[in-house]
């Protein structure tokens, strides 16, 4: 169990650019989640995959956001035409089954200038 | 809509001074209540899951309890290394939402001075 891995750890981009983050879940976990956390707040749910199927998306996830999990392994989160309000920590988590605890990675901190 | 409120927002303790953190919640149907610890610049680290009122879990100096409206995280004889932000989250299951769609509180920042 090597834990949830996220890449990159930090990303600085200019407004209007596209960015993509990667998450590698714990190997035997079939459930994968993306959350977003801003300073001083708890994480907020963005989207959820079971294997390769994206089963739920938050209203927070605008059309500029897209997530994929090809082959049910790693996942990517892409933000198009970034805005300053997108600056946050993007957290990935995985779990082994329903009602099992989520295990989080250390996140990707995005700064949009 | 599920809601979670944590208090206090910040807590300063002397080493060895026991205290409790509070997590008040409202959900349509509780699937689970989770406690996490978060260090600066890192992701939340799982501590406990509680499923029903009256349940208690312990780990080292930490003990989590659950009632129908709130949960407490009791810290006994804390050490400086217990300093972190403690997050509470609920899986409320409203409207048949997916498991793992957690609603988090804003956290309690705990500082333990030597």
A7-43: per-residue pLDDT in tens?
Answer: 999 999 999 999 999 999 999 899 999 999 999 999 9
Q: In the predicted model, is pLDDT for residue B94 greater than 70?
A: no
pLDDT band at A93 (very low <50, low <70, confident <90, very high): very high
Q: Region B1-10: what's the mean pLDDT?
A: 96
What's the confidence (pLDDT) of residue B95? 65
Cβ neighbour number for residue A111 with a 10 Å cutoff: 13
Q: Please indicate if any CB of chain B lies within 8 Å of the CB of A41.
A: yes
Residues present in chain A in total: 113
Q: Please indicate if any CB of chain B lies within 8 Å of the CB of A23.
A: no
Q: A interface mutation test: which of B2, B40, B43, B47 has the most A CBs within 10 A?
A: B43
3-class secondary structure, A57: strand
Q: In what side-by-side order are the strands of the sheet with A19-24? A: A5-7, A19-24, A75-79, A65-68
Q: In what side-by-side order are the strands of the sheet with B70-75? A: B3-7, B19-26, B70-75, B62-66, B56-59
Give Cα separations from A88 to A53, A64, A78, A85 (angstroms): 25, 15, 14, 8
Give Cα separations from B99 to A85, B34, B106 (angstroms): 28, 13, 21
Q: Region B94-100: what's the mean pLDDT?
A: 74
Q: In the predicted model, is pLDDT for residue B96 greater than 70?
A: no
- Report the mean per-residue pLDDT for chain A: 95
Q: Which residues of B touch A (CB under 8 A)?
A: 4, 31-32, 34, 36, 41-46, 49, 51, 87, 89, 91, 97-107
What's the confidence (pLDDT) of residue A61? 85
Q: Region B32-56: what's the mean pLDDT?
A: 96
Q: In the predicted model, is pLDDT for residue B97 greater than 80?
A: no
User: Which of A41, A98, A102 has its CB closest to that of B102?
Assistant: A102
């Amino acid at each position: 169990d090597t834990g949830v891995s996220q890449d990159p750890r930090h990303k600085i981009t200019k407004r209007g650019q596209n960015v993509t983050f990667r998450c590698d879940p714990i190997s035997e976990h079939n459930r994968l989640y993306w959350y977003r956390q801003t300073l001083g707040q708890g994480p907020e749910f963005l989207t959820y995959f079971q294997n390769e199927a994206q089963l739920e998306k938050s209203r927070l996830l605008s059309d500029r956001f897209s997530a994929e999990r090809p082959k049910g392994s790693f996942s990517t989160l892409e933000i198009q035409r970034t805005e300053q309000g997108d600056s946050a920590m993007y957290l990935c988590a995985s779990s082994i089954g329903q009602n099992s605890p989520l295990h989080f990675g250390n996140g990707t901190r995005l700064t949009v200038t | 809509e599920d809601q979670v409120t944590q208090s206090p927002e910040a807590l300063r303790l002397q080493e060895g001074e026991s205290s409790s953190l509070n997590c008040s919640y409202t959900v349509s149907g509780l699937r689970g209540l989770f406690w996490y610890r978060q260090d600066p610049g890192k992701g939340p680290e799982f501590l406990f899951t509680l499923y029903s009122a009256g349940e208690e879990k312990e780990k080292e100096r930490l003990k989590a309890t659950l009632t129908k409206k709130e949960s407490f995280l009791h810290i006994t004889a804390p050490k400086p290394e217990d300093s972190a932000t403690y997050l509470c989250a609920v899986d409320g299951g409203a409207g048949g939402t997916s498991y793992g769609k957690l609603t988090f509180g804003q956290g309690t920042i705990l500082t333990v001075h030597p």
